[in-house]
Structure 1
Amino acid sequence: MFPLISVIIPVYNAEEFIGQAIQSVLDQTRQAYEVIVIDDGSTDKTKEALLPFMKCITYLAQSNLGPSAARNAGIRAAKGNLICFQDADDFWMPEKLKIQSDFMEANPEVAMVFSDHEEFNEHGIVLSSYLSQKRKAFPIIPSVPGIINGPFEKLVIENFISTPTVMLRRSCLEKTGLFDEEIWSVEDRDLWLRISASFPIACIPQIFCRRRFHKANISKQKELTLGGRIRVLEKNWRRYPELVSPIVWRRQLADYYCKLGYLLMQKGERWGAFQAVKKSISYELALVSRNGALSIPDLLKGFGLMCAVLFGWQFSQFIWRILKKTFDFPV
C-alpha cells in the first residue's frame, strides 16, 4: 500500500497560473491522496480559476496572513503522512511524487527529501538549474540520490532547498513545529534548519519542478529577502548555538548586513544603511576579537561602505583606492 500524500498549495492573486499548477499535481504518475489549496486573501479572479478543479481539491479561504500561515493551515487540514508543497505559479514533472515517495519508503530514517528545479522566464526560456547556483553549499553538486552530510551548516551558509521540490514526513513536524507565521520571507529556510537540526535529510538531484522567474519589483524583493535571511539566522543561532561554529554564523550575518546596507544606500535610505553596515562591521570585528578569524577583504568592504554612507560615494572611492594600495588588496 502506498503512503498517503497531501499536497499543499497556498495561492495569492495567481489567477493566471494556478490552474497549471494544480493540473501538474493531478497529472502525477502516483496520485496524491489530497490536494489542499489555501486562498490567502486573493483579490483577483483566483477563486474563479479554481472552479474547474473544485471536485478534485480541498479549498480553504482565509484573509491575507502570508505564506507561512497559509501553508500551516494546509498542514493542519492534511490527512496524509507525507507532505508536499507546491507554489501557485510553478508546476511539477509527472514523476515527482512517485520517485520521492518510493525513496521515502526505502529510507525510513529520512525526514525530508528535496530535489532540483529549473527556472524559466516569461518567454519559456530555461534560465538555470537551482542546485547549480548553490556552489557555497555544494562545491560538487550531488550526482546520485542520498543523505546530505552536514545539512545544518550548509543551510546556515545558504539555502539550497527549493520548497516546491520538498517531500517531508508529517511526523517530523510534531518535533520541529510548523512554519513561523511571523516570518514572511525566507520562512522555508527557517523550517529546513529546524528539521535538519534533528533529522537526516536527503537529495534526489533530478529536476522535478519548473519555476517562473518574475522580474517585477526585484529590488523590493531583495530587501525583504535579506531582512528575512538575517532574522532567520539570528533566530536559529540563539536556538542552536552549539551546532555550528560562531565563525560561520558571524561571517554569514556580516555578509547579509553588508549587502542590505549597500541596497539601502542605493535607495537613498542612509540611516537604514548606516545601521546595517554598523552591524556588519560589528560581526566582522567580533570574528577577530572572539574567534581570531580575520577576513581583511570583508572588513575593508564594510568600512568602505560605511564611508559611502557617511561621506558619499566619491569620498568612499578615494578611501577605497588607498586601502587597496596599502593592503595590496585585489580588485
Structure 2
Amino acid sequence: MSAAAVSVIICTRNGWSRGFLDDTLQSLLAQSRPAQEILLIDDASSDGTAAYVRQAYPQVTVLPNAGKGLAAARNTGVAAVRSAWVAFIDDDDIWCPEKLAEQLAQVQASETPDAIVYASQIATLNSHGGNPVAWATPRQFASWPACLLGSPIQPSGVLLSKKLLSRMGPFNEQIREGAAYDYWIRCLSAGMSIRYSTNILLHYRQHHPQMTAPARKLEHFLNIDAIVAPYLERLAPALAKRVRCARLLNNLRSLLGHTGISAAVRYWRASVPRPAPGLRSVCYFLLDTVACRAPHRIRHTLRQRAMQLLIGKKTSLPELRPERSGHPM
C-alpha cells in the first residue's frame, strides 16, 4: 500500500443495538479521501453487531476480540492493519467528510510526521438532537508534563503512523479506564508532539448520563489519578507537588460543580497523598477557573498562561487558527 494509505479501527461492543453505529460507519464511507481499509473490532457483542456489519457493510472487515476490553481491542486492530497510517474512531462518533483529507495534508506538510499525533478539533453532539457545539480544544495539555493535568486528545479524532505505534508499543490492557490517555502521556513524555486540525473534523457524541452520576465521576477521577501517579514520580519533587495539587483542585472543582459537595468530600478523603496547595498551584487554579468562564477568543491565552505559571517554564503549545467548519454549529 502507498505511504498515505490509512486504516481505520472501530472498537465496539453491542454497537448495533446502541443505535449510533450506522452513523459512524456512513461517516467513514463518506470521506472525501477514503480509507484503504476499515476494521471493526467486535469485543464479544451479544446483539448481532458482527453479523449485521458483515451483511450491511461488506467494505468493513470484522475481527473478534473475545471481550478483552477497549485497550485490547485497539491492540487487536493495530496488529491487523496493513496501512502506514492508522486512525481510531469509537462506535458512536462521526467524522466530518474532510477529516482524513485535512489530516493527510498535515502529514505531507510535516518534516517529522512519524513523531506527531495528529488530533482533530471537536464539536460535541447531543444524542437527543440539536446542532454540534464547538468544544474548546485542550491544547494547554498538549505538552510534557502539562498532559498530566488532563487529556489533550479524544481518540476518535487521531491519526498516527504505524511506525509511531510500533515505537511506543501497545495500549496498556491492564488499565480498565483511561488507557488512551495513558498512551498520549507516554507519547508526549517520549518526545512526540501533537498537531491539531485547523477545522472541526470530529463530532463527539455525548450520551452517557451515568458518567455524571456522583459515584461514577468519583470513580473516574480516582482511576485517572492512579494512571498519572507513576508519571509524577519522574518529575522534580517541587514540580510533582504543584501538578498533584493542581489536579486535586481541578477535580474538586468539577465534582462540586457537577455532583455536589458529598462527592467532593469523598474524593478529598480518598486522595493520597494530599499536599497543601502552594501559591503557584492556587494561582494556576484561579486563572484556569477564570478561563473556564472567559469568552472563547481569550480562553486559550488564559489557559496557556495558567499552565506556564504552574509548570515554571514556557510550555510549547500548538498554534491554533480560529475554529471553522463547513457544518452547521
What's the TM-score once normalised by structure 2's chain length?
Answer: 0.73
Q: 1:155: Cα distance to partner?
A: 1.6
Rg (Cα) greater in structure: 1
- Could you say what secondary structure the match of 2:64 adopts? strand
Name the structure 2 match of 1:4: 5
Larger relative contact order, structure 1 or 2 (CA cutoff 8 Å, min sep 6): 2
1:106 aligned residue (88, 104, 109):
109
Taking only aligned residues, the RMSD between alpha carbons, in angstroms, comes to 3.1
1:31 to 28, 31, 34: 34
Q: Flag the 1:22–1:237 CA change in 2: closer, same or farther, 3 A.
A: same
The answer (yes or no) to whether the contact 2:241–2:275 under 8 Å persists in 1 is no
Matched residues, number:
275
Deviations 1:4-34 (A, max 9, x none): 2110000011112212211211111111111
Any idea what SS the aligned residue of 2:209 has? coil
Q: Within 5 A, what are the aligned runs for 1:207-218?
A: 207-218=200-211
Which structure 2 segments of 5+ residues have no match? 286-329
How far apart in 1 are the matches of 2:232 and 2:237? 9
Matched-pair contact (CA < 8 Å) for 2:7–2:81: yes
2:195 corresponds to 1:202:
yes
1:173-213 CA-to-partner distances (Å, cap 9, x unmatched) read: 22222211111222211111111222222111311111221
Kindly report which structure 2 residues correspond to 1:51-62, keeping only aligned pairs within 5 A, or say none.
51-62=54-65
Deviation at 1:80, TM superposition (A): 1.2
Match of residue 158, structure 2, among 163, 166, 170: 166
SS of 2:92 mapped into structure 1: coil
Give the 5 Å matches for 1:22-171: 22-110=25-113, 111-126=116-131, 128-131=133-136, 134=138, 137=140, 151-171=143-163
2:14 counterpart of 1:13: yes
- Give the distance between the partners of 2:6 and 2:136, measured in 1 at CA: 25
Match of 1:327 in 2: none
- Stretch deviating more after TM superposition (211-220 or 90-99): 211-220
Alignment of 1:212-231 (within 5 A): 212-218=205-211, 219=213, 220-231=215-226
After TM superposition, the structure 1 stretch with the greater mean CA deviation from structure 2, 246-255 or 109-118, is 246-255
Partner of 1:301: none
Q: 2:50, 2:157 → 1: CA distance?
A: 25
Q: Do the aligned residues in 1 keep the contact of 2:84 with 2:161 (CA within 8 Å)? A: yes
2:95 aligned partner, one-letter code = W
Could you tell me whether the CA contact under 8 Å between 2:54 and 2:60 is conserved in 1? no
* Superposed displacement of residue 71, structure 1: 0.6
Structure 1 CA distance for aligned equivalents of residues 7 and 192 of structure 2: 21
TM-score when normalising by structure 1 = 0.73
CA distance in 2, matches of 1:70, 1:103: 27
Task: Identify which of 178, 183, 186 aligns with 2:178.
Answer: 186
Residue 313 of structure 1 corresponds to which residue in structure 2?
none
Match for residue 233 of structure 1 among 228, 232, 236: 228
Q: Secondary structure at the match of 2:79?
A: helix
